[in-house]
C-alpha cells in the first residue's frame, strides 16, 4: 500500500511534538495516547494494528507480534473527513526529540527500538524484527525485539534527550544498548561484553554493549527512558533515606 503524503513541522526544542497537516481523505496512524490536539473534521478510530493485513489470520498474527513487544494491541487511525486541510499533533510520553524519517529516502525500511514509534503516514507497516543471535535475546535488554517500519512515507520516532545520526561506512560502532534509537542499511546488530570483569562490575557502563557493523545510518539518543527512570528512582530513594 502506498503511503499517504503528509506535511509536518516539529515544534519545540527539549520536549518536542510534531504537528501534521492532513489534506481531505488523508490518514495517519499513531500509538494510542500519543495525540496532543486535533482540529475539527479529523475523525479517529482505534483499530488492531496498522491496517496492512489483508485477512483475519494476518490481523491475528500481527496482534500476536505486537504483544511480544509489549506495545498496545491497537493503533489509532486519524482521518481528515472534511473538505479542507486540518492539523493534528503528537508528542512523546517523556522529554526528548522527535525524529522525522522519510522511508522512501531510506531504502523503504528502518529498524528501531521498541516503544520508539510515535506515528506514521497511513500505508506504513509497523512490524517487529527478532534478532538472530541468542546473545542479543538473553543480554540485549531493549535490543532483543526491535520494530521494523516499512513503506515509502513519513515515519516519526521519539528519543530521549538529544539525538545524533552516525553514518557507518564498512565500520563498527559500539554503544550502550539503551542509547540505540534505530538504524537502516546493511548493518549487523549484536551484543558484546563491555570489557574485562573489573570494568564490567565497577566501570559503571553496564555489562554489555550494542555492536553495529556495516554500512548505513544509526540514530543514537543521549538519555534513554530506562536510564532516566533509574536516576529518578535512585534520587527518590536517597531522599527517603535522608529523611529517615
pLDDT in tens, 198-222: 554 544 455 678 889 999 999 999 8
Q: Which domain holds residue 234?
A: 7-239
Question: Is residue 176 in some structural domain?
Answer: yes
Sheet of strand 17-22, all strands in order from the earlier edge strand to the far edge:
7-11, 17-22, 86-91, 35-38
**Average pLDDT over the chain, rounded to an integer:** 80
**pLDDT tens per residue, range 110-165:** 999 878 899 999 999 988 876 555 444 444 444 457 889 999 999 999 998 889 99
Q: Domain containing 66 — which CATH number?
A: 3.60.160.10
pLDDT of residue 13: 82
- In angstroms, how far is CA 238 from the centroid of its own chain? 32
CB count in 10 Å sphere of residue 149: 26
Mean per-residue pLDDT, 64-93: 81
Question: Is residue 80 in some structural domain?
Answer: yes
Count up the domains in the chain and report the number.
Answer: 1
Question: Is residue 173 in some structural domain?
Answer: yes
Question: Is residue 244 in some structural domain?
Answer: no
Question: Is residue 1 in some structural domain?
Answer: no
Q: Where are the beta strands (DSSP E) in 122-239?
A: 125-130, 145-150, 154-160, 163-176, 180-193, 208-221
Question: Is residue 97 in some structural domain?
Answer: yes
**pLDDT tens per residue, range 95-117:** 889 999 999 999 999 999 878 89
Whether the predicted pLDDT of 33 surpasses 90: no
Whether the predicted pLDDT of 78 surpasses 80: yes
Mean per-residue pLDDT, 179-194: 86
Question: Is residue 50 in some structural domain?
Answer: yes
Question: Is residue 2 in some structural domain?
Answer: no
Instruction: Yes or no: say if 159 and 208 are a contact pair by the CB < 8 Å rule.
Output: no
Amino acid at each position: 500500500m502506498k503511503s499517504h503524503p503528509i506535511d509536518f513541522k516539529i515544534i519545540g526544542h527539549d520536549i518536542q511534538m510534531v504537528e501534521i497537516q492532513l489534506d481531505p481523505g488523508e490518514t495517519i496512524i499513531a500509538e494510542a495516547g500519543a495525540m496532543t490536539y486535533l482540529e475539527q473534521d479529523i475523525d479517529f478510530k482505534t483499530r488492531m494494528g496498522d491496517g496492512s493485513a489483508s485477512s483475519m489470520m494476518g490481523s491475528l498474527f500481527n496482534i500476536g507480534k505486537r504483544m511480544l513487544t509489549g506495545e498496545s494491541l491497537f493503533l489509532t487511525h486519524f482521518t481528515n473527513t472534511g473538505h479542507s486541510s486540518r492539523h493534528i499533533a503528537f508528542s512523546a510520553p517523556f522529554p526528548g526529540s522527535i525524529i522525522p524519517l522519510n522511508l522512501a529516502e531510506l531504502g523503504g525500511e528502518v529498524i528501531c527500538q521498541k516503544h520508539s514509534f510515535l506515528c506514521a503516514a497511513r500505508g506504513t507497516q509497523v512490524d517487529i524484527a527478532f534478532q538472530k543471535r541468542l546473545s542479543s535475546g538473553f543480554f540485549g535488554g531493549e535490543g532483543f525485539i526491535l520494530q521494523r517500519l516499512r513503506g515509502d512515507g513519513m515515519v516519526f520516532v521519539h528519543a530521549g534527550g538529544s539525538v545524533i545520526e552516525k553514518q557507518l561506512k564498512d565500520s563498527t560502532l559500539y554503544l550502550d544498548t539503551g542509547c540505540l534509537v534505530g538504524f537502516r542499511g546493511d548493518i549487523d546488530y549484536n551484543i558484546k561484553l563491555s570489557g574485562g570483569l573489573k570494568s564490567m562490575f565497577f566501570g559503571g557502563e553496564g555489562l554489555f554493549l550494542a555492536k553495529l557493523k556495516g554500512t548505513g545510518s544509526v540514530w543514537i539518543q543521549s538519555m534513554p527512558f530506562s536510564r532516566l527512570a533509574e536516576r529518578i528512582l535512585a534520587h527518590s530513594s536517597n531522599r527517603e533515606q535522608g529523611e529517615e
